[in-house]
Amino acid sequence: MYAHPNVYIDVSVVNWILPQEEFNTYLKPLINAGFGDRIMFGSNQMIWPQVISVGIESINNADFLTREQKEDILYDNATKFLGLSDTEIKKHKSL
C-alpha cells in the first residue's frame, strides 16, 4: 500500500470470521501504518447476511479506533473510493 497509494483494502470476512482479538491484531498495524483512510468495510455476504452486523460490531468494538476512524472504515472511505458527490453523501446520511 505504500508503493500503490490508490490501493484500498476491505475487511470483509476477517471482520466476522476472526475473534475480536485476532481482528484487532490484523487491523491495528494497518491503522498504525497510516492506511486508515484506505480501509473499507466489506461484508462479502450473499449466503449469511446475518454476519454483516457481526462485522460492523467488530469494527465498533475495536477500542483502539477513534470514532472518526470507525466512520471512515464503515462509510467515508468508500465515498472517496466511489467518488460520491456531497449531495449523494448528504442523502445517505439523512436516511
Flag whether 4 is in a domain: no
Cα angle for residues 12, 14, 16 (degrees, 5° grid) = 85
User: How much is the pLDDT for 48?
Assistant: 79
Domain count along the chain: 1
What pLDDT was estimated at residue 34? 96
Domain presence at residue 54: yes
Tell me the torsion sign for CA atoms 14, 16, 21, 27.
Answer: positive
Average pLDDT over residues 20-45: 94
Task: Identify whether 77 is part of a domain.
Answer: yes
84 in the Ramachandran plot: left (φ > 0), alpha (ψ -120 to 50) or beta? Answer: beta
Buried b (16+ CB within 10 A) or exposed e, 86-95: eeeeeeeeee
pLDDT of residue 44: 77
Residue 64 lies in a domain: yes
Do the domain assignments include residue 66? yes
Residue range of the domain that includes 87: 9-94
Using one digit for the tens of pLDDT, what is the confidence trace for 35-84? Answer: 999 999 987 777 778 889 999 999 999 999 999 999 999 999 999 999 99
Eight-state DSSP code of residue 75: I
